[in-house]
Structure 1
């Protein structure tokens, strides 16, 4: 896996997301079509694990969380930015999603939850906010942010 191959993989997914409302219907669709147990989920998880192992994903660390924005919003990514975080039994910094947030939660070696949810997609609508929390283990979380918009609160 390389960053360029990962970008192409993500672009294939974001093409399916372009123009869709970021809402509960999208959450259900993603989990039905690309959720845990699907080929898409397995491929994205393998790519993220490889990127972490190779050092080009989650190459920064702060507050007990490894993280990194691998891609800024771009036309080939249909306006989404791409971040991946590596979290173990921790709550991250509180933030707002001006344009929404699409997350793929990938537990590593266990049944870790992300904001109380099992492996799969978590879609947060525009204007929502949270303190991203991984509990009961370790997980990678892939974040797709429309136009890269995120506002951290104090």
Structure 2
């Protein structure tokens, strides 16, 4: 799995959501169009595992979280950036989503849940704030951020 191959996989998702509102209905759409047990979702999850093993994804670590921005905002992904984190039973740093955040939750061990949600898609709307939390095991979480916008806030 190369970064270019990974971007091609993600482009299928961003192409399907380009121009849509970043809201709960988008999560419903993604869970229907790209379900956790579907081939596209599984291909992206497998690609993440391969990329982490190859060392170019989640290549940083802080506070028990492995992370990294995999793709900066680009026209090829309709203005989205892609970040991937690996978390296990911990609470991450509080941050805000000026333009929203689209989360692809990929449990790896146990009954891992991200902010209370299992395998699949979850969406935070524009202006939302949270402390990302994975409990019940280990998971990758892929974040699609419109224009790459994220603001870490004081807790």
Query: Scaled by the length of structure 1, what TM-score is found?
Result: 0.98
1 CA distance for matches of 2:111 and 2:136?
7
Structure 1 counterpart SS, 2:53: helix
Give the drift of 1:110: 2.4
The equivalent of 1:96 in structure 2 is 96
Structure 2 counterpart SS, 1:108: strand
The equivalent of 1:85 in structure 2 is 85
Give the drift of 1:109: 2.7
1 CA distance for matches of 2:131 and 2:109?
23
Give the drift of 1:44: 0.7
Give the root-mean-square deviation of aligned CA atoms.
Answer: 0.7
Aligned residues: 154
Q: Alpha-carbon deviations, 1:27-58, whole Å to 9, x = none?
A: 11111111211111101100001111111100
Structure 1 counterpart SS, 2:7: helix
The equivalent of 1:19 in structure 2 is 19
Q: Which runs of 4+ in 1 moved over 2 A?
A: none
The equivalent of 1:42 in structure 2 is 42
The equivalent of 1:6 in structure 2 is 6
Q: Which moved more, 1:9-18 or 1:90-99?
A: 9-18
Q: Alpha-carbon deviations, 1:112-135, whole Å to 9, x = none?
A: 000001111011100111100000
Q: Which moved more, 1:108-117 or 1:136-145?
A: 108-117
Q: Alpha-carbon deviations, 1:7-32, whole Å to 9, x = none?
A: 11111211111100000110111111
1 CA distance for matches of 2:116 and 2:109?
17
